[in-house]
Amino acid sequence: MLAAAGPLPAGPGWAFEFKFDGVRAITGVSGGRVEARSRNLNDITGSYPELGELPALLDGRDAVLDGEIVALEGDRPSFALLQQRMHVSTPSPALVAGVPVFYYVFDLLALDGQDLTAQPYATRRDLLSGLGLVGEHIRVPARFANADGPTVLRAAELAGLEGVVAKRLDAPYRPGKRSADWTKIPLVKTQEVLVVGWKPGSGRRSGTIGSLLLAVHDERDRLAFAGHVGTGFTDSALRHLQTELAALTRTTPPIEGVPREFARHAHWVEPALIGEVAFRNWTPDHRLRHPSWRGLRTDRSPASIRRAPEPVPPPSQGKVIGAMQTPDGRWRVEAVRRGRQDFFRLIHGDNIIDGLVIATVERLLAEAGVHLGDLVDVRLGSTPGAA
């Protein structure tokens, strides 16, 4: 079951979990044996021997678990660190010791042969908690039922986490389906991309990759140019990418419409390598603005890589009690009251981030080169972009 992006839900009937920055794994334990599968159903059991703790923790019981495999830097998840494990099918003892992973189990799909997917999330979570799955590398993350969503989101931000996932307490588990019954509210926007080419570097990067040319599938299922990324790479990531891309070389662009400034001196590759970038927003010409490389994804298929849908705010998401925007109308901040909750909403083009505190608004604006003090009050009822 996959979470859909959306605004922070309000009202009773929801639980909130922290969103961890890792790779998804469905793990079956039967007869003392463990089998783990990635989101695209690849067998990843050998890549993560830490999962071998599960049979002992289950004390002879069989189970099917859903969770996230995470590497920690200090006490915070690090997707960059996890890259050192994701591409290794049989890690050495030294690698396992140097870059250990942790399995955060957040759902229970079957227990002792009984299918639990039709049971409400609240029931499945209670059963999971009762199993006592606490080991050296196995953890059950906290859930916050009927909690104040903005408070949980703020806690995630302070902890340096990726965001939160809101889960409807009465929702069944829908295998393979993306549902708003699980709503993800990320603090960092990410996008999965296909690498279609690369441009040589200069200076310190001379002789290696300077930037990657990116694409995603559009609404008509055609590959469309999505810009380029030239930051966020470690030296080891560049070496690994160079090796991977060398085997995919082709003489012509795999997509149409690459602007001349990007096509010049480009080396083209088959669109088979999947990566993930963090970015600020989409430009009007459908390119990623200020992307930063996060790493390769081996748990996705090329056909699934398309622009992630923007959260669509529901009509009854609260009353706007105040608003201000930049003089050009490109950035707008709204103060919103929903029931007894007050929060801020940041709007830029089609991008809407809900449930924020003012410190987060100020930080996000500063990252975009906008000072909060430069915003001016606007008359309520005016639309974003109207002066």
Let me know whether 7 and 154 are in one domain. Answer: yes
Let me know whether 210 and 277 are in one domain. Answer: yes
Let me know whether 261 and 330 are in one domain. Answer: no
Let me know whether 141 and 238 are in one domain. Answer: no
User: What Å distances lie between residue 364 and 20, 188, 244, 331, 353, CA to CA?
Assistant: 21, 10, 35, 11, 10
What average pLDDT does the structure give for the chain? 88
Let me know whether 172 and 195 are in one domain. Answer: no
180/2 Cα distance (integer angstroms): 9
Q: Identify which of 362, 374, 363 has the alpha carbon closest to the alpha carbon of residue 326.
A: 374
Query: Does position 158 have pLDDT exceeding 70, yes or no?
Result: yes
Instruction: Determine, yes or no, domain membership for 210.
Output: yes
Let me know whether 50 and 182 are in one domain. Answer: yes
The residue ranking higher by pLDDT, 266 or 178, is: 266
Let me know whether 111 and 245 are in one domain. Answer: no
The residue ranking higher by pLDDT, 224 or 348, is: 224
Is 86 within 8 Å of 23 (Cβ atoms)? yes
Let me know whether 215 and 283 are in one domain. Answer: yes
- pLDDT for 363: 79
User: Residues with catalytic annotation?
Assistant: 19
Domain coverage including residue 249:
190-304
Over residues 263-322, the pLDDT tens digits come to: 999 999 999 999 999 887 788 788 998 899 999 998 888 998 998 766 544 444 678 888
Let me know whether 178 and 195 are in one domain. Answer: no
Query: Does position 160 have pLDDT exceeding 50, yes or no?
Result: yes
Instruction: Determine, yes or no, domain membership for 310.
Output: no
Domain CATH for 241: 2.40.50.140
With a CB cutoff of 8 Å and minimum separation 6, the contacts of 372 are 333, 361, 362, 365, 366
Is 39 within 8 Å of 299 (Cβ atoms)? yes
Let me know whether 177 and 203 are in one domain. Answer: no
Instruction: Determine, yes or no, domain membership for 312.
Output: no
Query: Does position 65 have pLDDT exceeding 90, yes or no?
Result: yes
Q: Tell me the mean pLDDT in the region 155-162.
A: 82
- Of 186, 205, 234, the one marking the end of a domain is 186
Let me know whether 194 and 277 are in one domain. Answer: yes
Q: How far is CA 162 from the centre of its chain?
A: 7
- pLDDT for 386: 45
Q: 0.85 exceeded by the pTM? A: no
- pLDDT for 180: 87
Instruction: Determine, yes or no, domain membership for 22.
Output: yes
Q: What are phi and psi of 123, to 5 degrees?
A: -70, -45
Over residues 325-349, the pLDDT tens digits come to: 998 888 889 888 877 778 888 887 6
- Of 139, 161, 186, the one marking the end of a domain is 186
pLDDT tier at 43, thresholds 50, 70, 90:
very high
96/88 Cα distance (integer angstroms): 10
Question: Per the structure block, which two tokens stand in for 374?
Answer: 């430069």
Instruction: Determine, yes or no, domain membership for 360.
Output: yes
Let me know whether 294 and 330 are in one domain. Answer: no
* N-terminal to C-terminal alpha carbon distance within the chain: 43
Instruction: Determine, yes or no, domain membership for 218.
Output: yes
- Of 186, 214, 233, the one marking the end of a domain is 186
Q: Tell me the mean pLDDT in the region 77-104.
A: 92
Instruction: Determine, yes or no, domain membership for 326.
Output: yes
Burial classification of residue 140, based on how many CB atoms lie within 10 Å of its CB (0-12 exposed, 13-18 middle, 19 or more buried): buried
Instruction: Determine, yes or no, domain membership for 289.
Output: yes
Tell me 373's DSSP state.
G
Number of domains, the chain: 3
